[in-house]
Amino acid sequence: MWSTLRSLWLVFLHLFRKRATVQYPEQEPPIPPRWRGRIILSRDPDGGERCVACYLCAAACPVDCIALQATEDEHGRRYPEFFRINFSRCIFCGWCEEACPTYAIQLTPDFEMGEYDRSKLVYEKEHLLISGPGKYPGYNFYHRAGVSIKGKDKGEAVDELAPADVRDLLP
Amino acid sequence: MTWWMHIAVVVVVLIVLLNVPIGLIWLERRLLGWFQDRYGPNRAGPFGLLQPIADGIKLMTKEDWVPPFADRWVFIAAPTIVVMAMLLVFGVIPFTSSVAIADLNVGVLFFLGMASVAVYSIVLAGWSSNSKYSLVGGLRAAAQLISYEIPMGLSLVGVVMLAGSFKLGDIVEAQQRSQWFCLTQPVGLLIFLTATLAEARRIPFDLPEADSELTNGFHTEYSSMKFALFYMGEYLDITLVGCLTALLFFGGWLGPGLPELAWLAIKVVAVIVFFMWVRSVLPRFRFDQLINFGWKVLLPVSLLNIAVTGFVVLRW
């Protein structure tokens, strides 16, 4: 009897508590910066595409939602001819981002991707590519990787060391 | 009153009553939300007031299905019984000192009788569904009936003794002469509220329904408007219980300032809100606990209440 009355009172007090509900469309839910949402393709600080079409994201993807075709431009830079993500399959696991060697593919804190038409959930490269560097400002794959492209040979970029002489015994 | 005024009262009461569940569903969902630190439905229309209407449209457009294994005609008849019984009891409720459809001189007994008839609906629904969950739900309804019905009847005997009448209008007038019976019959009020919670099959006594164990018990097999009728019956039931609690214990339409109907409405809503409050607080009783509670606590206490009230009435 006493516990019943006590719980009646305690539940009554809940009328005046702060609501736990987030009134979603009007009120923004708090989303952590590492949220795994809509996938984007980023560019390096010089404005070039970061993606080198290595297929690692497509290989890592557990649901096979990434499709791309590699090609090479006149400077010797690899890039995807097309890059397609089927978001009706994507499970936002983030493995593509982990697999990416050039920080090109990234997941963003955006989840508002609802569509009435399923085919609209297939994003092509022009939908995925953004103009900025995303989470990694200042990172440029070709400045570090020691890959030679036209106008920059191995070891010529800012952050690169000259190629080591493999026959030399000194470190 | 002339004959056309009688008919007008009947029509108005019927229209109001058939719309009461809409308001109560909204009220219940909002209140439960507030008690649980939520908002409850607040999207459809202002304050979510159109939510029950949307639900009603949804229910009406659902397939009205009678399972092939069910006892067809009983299955169809069962949900109407509870609504019919509940609507009939409103016939004996006086809404103000002058307005009532038929304030019978055995109003209290009529209510007790019809409350028992309503249980037929549940038992028949459980039986005719031919499904294990429904059958257990129906059996529980029958067993619940025998454990709350007697204390419920006996708890009103004290009020009837003090008022000297079974007529609800007379009982309110008796409270005008002395004081509200919630002051002189607190034990009767408590037993009545407990028993009517069981009668309306509300949590913590929703054993026949028991969503979590019996997958909605007696109305597992029901869909569409037949399902809605059970809900309608339940909400009419708690409205009725609110009316009776107000009339028998809280002086009905008595009160200063406001019109009589407004006072009755305020008291009825207060009792209904109390029921919803209790729903959000207490867990469901176990089956044996309910029967034990009914026979070993409620019955002796109500008998004692009658004895004490009788003694006091005779001595003073």
Instruction: Encode chain A (171 residues) as per-residue pLDDT tens digits.
Output: 788 889 889 888 888 888 888 888 888 888 898 899 999 999 988 888 889 999 999 999 999 999 999 998 888 788 999 999 999 999 999 999 999 988 999 999 988 898 999 999 999 999 999 998 888 888 888 887 777 777 778 877 777 777 778 888 877
Cα separation of B79 and B125, whole Å? 7
| Interface contact B281-A15, CB threshold 8 A | no
Backbone angles phi, psi at B218, to 5 degrees: -60, -25
Which residue, among B51, B115, B49, has the nearest Cα to B82 in the 3D structure? B115
CA B15 from centre of chain:
18
| Interface contact A11-B34, CB threshold 8 A | no
| Interface contact A15-B36, CB threshold 8 A | no
The full length of chain B comes to: 316
Taking only the tens place, the pLDDT of each residue in B28-60 is 999 898 898 888 888 888 888 888 888 888 888
Residues of A in contact with B278 (CB under 8 A): 8
Contact by Cβ (8 Å): B76, B68: no
Question: Which residues, at least 6 apart from B255, have a Cβ–Cβ distance to it below 8 Å?
Answer: B263, B266
Residues of B in contact with A21 (CB under 8 A): 37-39
Residue in chain A closest to B273 (alpha carbons) equals A12
Instruction: Identify the contact set of chain A against chain B, taking CB-CB distances under 8 A.
Output: 4, 7-8, 11-12, 14-15, 17-21, 23
How many C-beta atoms surround the C-beta of residue B76 within 10 A?
14
Backbone angles phi, psi at A152, to 5 degrees: -155, 115
Taking only the tens place, the pLDDT of each residue in B235-288 is 998 999 999 898 888 887 887 888 888 888 899 999 999 999 998 888 888 888
Backbone angles phi, psi at B239, to 5 degrees: -65, -45
Residues of A in contact with B39 (CB under 8 A): 19, 21, 23
CA B111 from centre of chain:
10
| Interface contact B37-A14, CB threshold 8 A | yes
* Chain A: closest CA distance from residue B298 (Å): 13
pLDDT at A67 (0 to 100): 92
Q: What is the DSSP string of chain B?
A: --HHHHHHHHHHHHHHHHHHHHHHHHHHHHHHHHHTTS--S-SSSGGGTTHHHHHHHHHHHS-----TTS-HHHHHHHHHHHHHHHHHHGGG-BSSSS-BS---TTHHHHHHHHHHHHHHHHHHHHHHTT-HHHHHHHHHHHHHHHHHHHHHHHHHHHHHHHHT-S-HHHHHHHHHHS--HHHH-HHHHHHHHHHHHHHTT-TTS-TTT-HHHHTTGGGTT--HHHHHHHHHHHHHHHHHHHHHHHHHHS-TT--SSS-HHHHHHHHHHHHHHHHHHHHHHPPPPPHHHHHHIIIIIIHHHHHHHHHHHHHHHHH-
User: pLDDT above 90 covers what percent of chain B?
Assistant: 6
| Interface contact A7-B39, CB threshold 8 A | no
The full length of chain A comes to: 171
DSSP class of residue B100 equals B
Backbone angles phi, psi at A49, to 5 degrees: -65, 135
Q: Which of A4, A8, A20 sits opposite B37 (nearest CB)?
A: A20
pLDDT at B1 (0 to 100): 67
ipTM for the complex shown: 0.72
Q: Which of B37, B38, B281 sits opposite A8 (nearest CB)?
A: B281
Instruction: Judge residue B93's burial from the number of C-beta atoms within 10 Å of its C-beta, 0-12 exposed, 13-18 middle, 19 or more buried.
Output: buried
Instruction: Judge residue B173's burial from the number of C-beta atoms within 10 Å of its C-beta, 0-12 exposed, 13-18 middle, 19 or more buried.
Output: middle
Residue in chain B closest to A24 (alpha carbons) equals B43
> Sign of torsion, CA B242 B163 B168 B166?
positive
In chain B, which stretches have pLDDT less than 70? 1
* Chain B: closest CA distance from residue A9 (Å): 9
pLDDT at A61 (0 to 100): 93
Question: Which residues, at least 6 apart from B259, have a Cβ–Cβ distance to it below 8 Å?
Answer: B96
| Interface contact B37-A23, CB threshold 8 A | no
For the full predicted model, state whether its pTM sits above 0.90: no
Contact by Cβ (8 Å): B289, A19: no
A78 beta partners? A72
**Domains of chain B: which residue ranges?**
62-315
* Chain A: closest CA distance from residue B116 (Å): 28
Q: Which fold has domain A32-143?
A: Alpha-Beta Plaits (3.30.70)
| Interface contact B39-A11, CB threshold 8 A | no
> Sign of torsion, CA B10 B13 B19 B21?
negative
